[in-house]
Amino acid sequence: MSVGSSLQKSVYPWWSRWLPLSVMDRYIVSELIPPFLFGVGAFTSVGVSVGSLFNLVNQVVEKGLPLSIAFEVLLLKMPEFIVYSFPTSVLLAMLMTFSRLAGDSELVALRGCGVSVYRLVLPTLAFCLVITGLTFLFQESIMPAANYRASTTLERALGDEKPDFQERDILYQEYRTVATPEGGSENTMARLFYAKRFNGTEMQGLTILDFSRDGLSQIISAKTAQWDIAEGLWQFRDGTIYVVSEDGSFRNIVKFDQQNLQLPRTPLDLANRRRDYNEMNIAQAMEQYDLIKDSGNEGRIRELRVRIHQKFSLPFICVAFGLVGAALGLQLRRTGRATGFAISILIVFLYYLSAFMSGAIAQAGYLHPLIGAWLPNVFGLTMGLLLLVRSSR
């Protein structure tokens, strides 16, 4: 074995032999990994402490929560804070790595060899894309299930366990789009579904107002109703159907012991779903959106649409943070961990503040949900590119 090959194996990590990267690229990526891992550990610890630990300690002291349960819940909450720590750790790694390279005059040597700033940043973009994929994986596959289990475990231990369904007052409004005499269109109510109680399989005390037929309305009242999975319809029992004409008079009254009706399954699905946003992945959130998109609850619909777009946009902030961190690091001189940590916290605070404000404006209906979710990312990418251009001069 030659001295050069043995030196290369001792300097670069094992994975570098399997990636088609130049010596400079491997060196930069290997310099990024230690501060990135430090950032993940540090920011996750801070997030867990502020977001969960204090509350769990309070539950242990005041409500007698067993320490074993508290520790389990703490571990289950960690994936959520790891997801949030990935972008911040990318920013910290870029700041510390490029400021150290600048402070040790390694960047001067590389620039003297004809390496441009854009070429230096190229391996960091690949690193950011890998972390983006990792963030998306944690956010979709690990975090929702862990958060849901943490909530149910804590509720069960404290005796506050809630059923996985809404027990009372299930209300669902279904809307449809109809043409107006002026040639336009408007949303009008098609059905109003109300059930007084629900035991998990059977609804009780039902009243349905059906306006889906032009010139004819129905009022359906029943003691119980159950969804028939095989037939794909509702089985109403012990009820009455009132058929109302367009002039408001009763046209027909039909009493029944059992009646199968073709009504949407949506009220049952809504009653069976009680997960929070952080307990749903994108597929579950989109399924929830399909359930409420015709309900007429515009505020809830806009909020869910913004949340779905934010689930897509959050992982990609790693790229924006990578550009900003690299550009700032090129202009700093040997930034220590404390300084890099402080700058990272400031930038992350500004990002999440802008994300909160743009999301709130989108939920209020003044911005499209797509724009409200992606606007902070676009702003971060623009700032990163501008700082990078300035650093190259």
Q: Looking at the domain assignment, is residue 254 inside a domain?
A: yes
pLDDT tens, position by position, 150-159: 888 888 887 7
Q: Looking at the domain assignment, is residue 343 inside a domain?
A: yes
Residues 141 and 112 in one domain: yes
Quickly list DSSP for 98-151.
Answer: HHHHHHTTHHHHHHHTT--HHHHHHHHHHHHHHHHHHHHHIIIIIHHHHHHHHH
Q: Looking at the domain assignment, is residue 255 inside a domain?
A: yes
How many whole angstroms separate alpha carbon 381 and alpha carbon 323? 7
pLDDT tens, position by position, 257-280: 998 888 877 777 777 666 788 888
Per-chain mean pLDDT for the chain: 82
Of 182, 179, 206, the C-alpha closest to 195 is 206
Q: Looking at the domain assignment, is residue 8 inside a domain?
A: no
Of 218, 292, 290, 303, the C-alpha closest to 261 is 218
Higher pLDDT, 76 or 331: 76
Of 229, 170, 222, 239, the C-alpha closest to 199 is 170
Residues 123 and 172 in one domain: no
pLDDT tens, position by position, 70-104: 899 999 999 999 999 999 999 989 888 888 887 77
Q: Report the half-sphere exposure of 170 (CA within 13 A, side-chain side).
A: 27
Q: Looking at the domain assignment, is residue 386 inside a domain?
A: yes
The pTM (predicted TM-score) of the whole model is 0.74
Where is average pLDDT lowest: 1-10, 202-211, 274-283, 352-361? 1-10
Q: Give the count of domains, the chain.
A: 2
Higher pLDDT, 338 or 110: 110
Q: Looking at the domain assignment, is residue 212 inside a domain?
A: yes
End-to-end CA distance of the chain: 43
Q: What are phi and psi of 300, to 5 degrees?
A: -65, -40
Residues 6+ apart with CB under 8 A from 208: 191, 192, 193, 194, 218, 219, 220, 221, 263
Domain boundary among 244, 268, 292: 268
What is residue 2's predicted lDDT score, i.e. its pLDDT? 43
pLDDT class of 8 with cuts at 50, 70, 90: very low
What is residue 18's predicted lDDT score, i.e. its pLDDT? 52
Q: In residues, how long is the chain?
A: 393
Residues 44 and 151 in one domain: yes
Residues 363 and 250 in one domain: no
Residues 27 and 155 in one domain: yes
What is residue 7's predicted lDDT score, i.e. its pLDDT? 38
How many whole angstroms separate alpha carbon 335 and alpha carbon 344? 12
Q: Which domain holds residue 248?
A: 168-268
What is residue 86's predicted lDDT score, i.e. its pLDDT? 94
Residues 6+ apart with CB under 8 A from 228: 234, 235, 260
Q: Which one-letter DSSP state was computed for residue 2?
A: -
Residues 32 and 146 in one domain: yes
Domain boundary among 268, 300, 321: 268
Q: Looking at the domain assignment, is residue 336 inside a domain?
A: yes
pLDDT tens, position by position, 127-162: 999 999 999 999 999 999 999 888 888 888 877 656
Residues 136 and 191 in one domain: no
Where is average pLDDT lowest: 31-45, 258-272, 294-308? 258-272
Cβ atoms of residues 378 and 317 within 8 Å: no
How many whole angstroms separate alpha carbon 113 and alpha carbon 126? 22
Residues 239 and 356 in one domain: no
Residues 258 and 332 in one domain: no
Residues 130 and 58 in one domain: yes
Residue type, 31: E
Q: Looking at the domain assignment, is residue 91 inside a domain?
A: yes
